[in-house]
Structure 1
Amino acid sequence: MNYFGTVINTIGITLAAIICVALISSLAAYPLARIRGRVTTYVYMFFVIGMIIPPFAALTPLYLFMRDLGLLDTYLGLIIVYTVGNLPLGVFFYTSFMKAIPVELEEAARLDGASFLKTYWYIIFPMLKPITGTLAIFVTLSVWNDVVNPLLFITTESKLTIMPAVLRFLGTYSVDPTQLFPAAVLASLPLLCVFFALSKQIVSGMTAGAVK
């Protein structure tokens, strides 16, 4: 099932999606957490509503949109799909976390002449490491375990991610346990290696902000 090729594809797409989701959602959450008003409240509610929309309801318009942009059967198209799909969760995470960061830190940066973007990049973003780690876990699981989106947006077999490759390897109408169990172990093996290597960081990220 082109194991190493599909694993490399999955890792690359996952890392790109994590970076895009972290940057875009944190930039969107920064003004939502600091500016109080009806407009920001409505924008925040708009993002939260995106979390309750069933993913399957957006497949058809998303496919047509990607077709019109010419991004079908490309890594970039699949990265955009995963980024957009995880943006509501990222905005929700970052907005809640940023509200607990003292405003005095930003005021001190402004007194030193830092602009809005410099304050975000040098003061706020480094403090978001725990929640970024938690968000990265959710994005990784959503990308790694996804079957529908790669099958819908990718047609070249060499560009597939790990789960669709496992599905094609097992077949459609019958499942052989002697093939199912080794394929399942191989599919989850990279995630297990990452978990054991970064277990301390993962646990600290998941428990960040639990006790105030």
Structure 2
Amino acid sequence: MYLRYTWRTGILEAVMIVVAALFFVPAYVLINLSFREPNDQAGPLELPTTFTLQNYADAWVQGNLGNALINSTVVAVVSVTALVVFASLASYPLARVGRGWSTAAYFGFLIGLLLPMQLALIPLYTTMRDLDLLGSVWGLVIYYIGLQMPFSIFLYTGFLRALPHEYEEAAAIDGAGAFGTFWRVVFPLLRPITGTVIILNVIAVWNDFLTPLLYLSGSGQQTVPVTLYSFVGQYVSQWNLVFAGLVISIAPILIVYFLLQRTVIKGFASGLKG
């Protein structure tokens, strides 16, 4: 089918280009400032007078970004892996069992989306202290699993409700049990929504500032956002190091997103049905 290029199409393309440029400006400013020397007085949109990579080296060494990246990676990978396993397993009976307890349990999980996490900061802090998990990345892992579980179950359950039952019925005829049917038949079909769950939870965990500041305060273990905050002080703010550190911290998330881009779009298109 041949579609003519009309003036409306041209206007739409021009608007999209302008919007894309507006979204690109903050990224350009961030990268531009990360290559500047501390005493460069040029405007944020102007190119640096002298390009330098020293900001990246200083941010890496002074802020101990290497250790912070390892901590953030461990917390994000372990938390999101556990979320994918537990949330998908919990969502399967919630989506397939049509009894009253299933609906009640589902809405019970959804209540977790409505309650602000700040309400539980003090009780959770005292619990982590009593369990001797303060200053440990494993305390963060437990916290994020509980915090993000309702949202992950919401996504998985919506996707499963839109998934045909015929696949499971065929597996049951072949003699597969409920557990085997889920892992061998159902879970591979959850690939689109799993990609969405992964990227949204990774972003939430990776960018969180308050929780690591609260639970890892005073320890040598810190995540990337808290480490970057150390460059900003009451009297001296090392903005060149902050911008360089931000570029370093953003890179892993961008890589994960680009790898899962198609899967994320599929998950958004089909995972919220039903």
| Distance 1:66-1:144 versus aligned 2 partners, 3 A rule | same
- Bigger share in helix: 1
Shift of 1:60: 1.1
Amino acid at match of 1:147: F
Equivalent pair of 1:47/1:88 in contact (CA under 8 Å): yes
Structure-2 separation of matches of 1:96 and 1:173: 50
Q: Choose the corresponding residue for 2:224, options 154, 162, 173.
A: 162
In 2, the alpha carbon distance for the partners of 1:204 and 1:35 equals 25
Structure ranking higher on relative contact order (CA contacts 8 Å, 6+ apart): 1
> Structure 1's 173 and 29: CA in aligned 2 closer, same or farther, altered over 3 A?
farther
Report if the CA contact (8 A) 1:78-1:150 is conserved: yes
| Counterpart residue number, 1:19 | 81
User: Which residue is equivalent to 2:201?
Assistant: 139
Residue in structure 2 matched with residue 130 of structure 1 by the alignment: 192
Partner of 1:153: 215
The residue that corresponds to 1:57 in the other structure is: 119
Contact 2:193/2:263, CA 8 A, preserved across alignment: no
Which of 1 and 2 has greater Rg?
2
Task: Confirm or deny: 8 A CA contact 2:172 2:181 kept in the other structure.
Answer: yes
Of 128, 131, 134, the residue aligned with 1:66 is 128
RMSD: 2.1
User: 2:160: which partner in 1?
Assistant: 98
Which amino acid counterpart does residue 176 of structure 2 have in structure 1? A
Deviations 1:1-23 (A, max 9, x none): 11111112111211111111111
Residue 118, structure 1, aligned to residue 184, structure 2: no
> What is the CA-CA distance between 1:210 and the residue it aligns to?
7.2
Whole-Å Cα distance in 2 between the matches of residues 99 and 45 of structure 1? 15
Give identity over the alignment, percent: 37
* Structure 2: gaps spanning 5 or more residues: 1-62
Give the Cα separation in 2 of the matches to 1:45 and 1:35. 14
Cα distance, 1:198 vs. partner?
Answer: 4.3
Which secondary structure does the structure 1 equivalent of 2:98 belong to? coil
Q: TM-score, normalised by structure 1?
A: 0.90
